[in-house]
């Protein structure tokens, strides 16, 4: 998806993510689950 770091992902607006060519809703939900397990969901705010 063109991201290299966690900051690249959480720094992007969610509205912009779904507009990317390589965007995958499955990938996004996997990412959210990863953040939840690491107690880092607050990074998406």
Q: Tens digits of per-residue pLDDT, 2-38?
A: 677 888 788 877 777 778 777 888 988 998 999 999 9
The three-class DSSP label of residue 17 is: helix
Name the DSSP class of 5.
S
What gap in Å lies between CA 15 and CA 29, rounded to an integer?
15
The whole-model pTM stands at 0.69
Nearest-angstrom CA–CA distance, 41 and 7: 13
pLDDT at residue 39 greater than cutoff 90:
yes
């Amino acid at each position: 998806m063109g991201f290299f770091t966690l900051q690249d992902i959480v720094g992007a607006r969610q509205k912009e993510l779904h507009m990317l060519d390589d965007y995958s809703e499955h990938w996004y939900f996997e990412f959210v689950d990863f953040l939840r397990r690491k107690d880092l969901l607050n990074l998406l705010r």
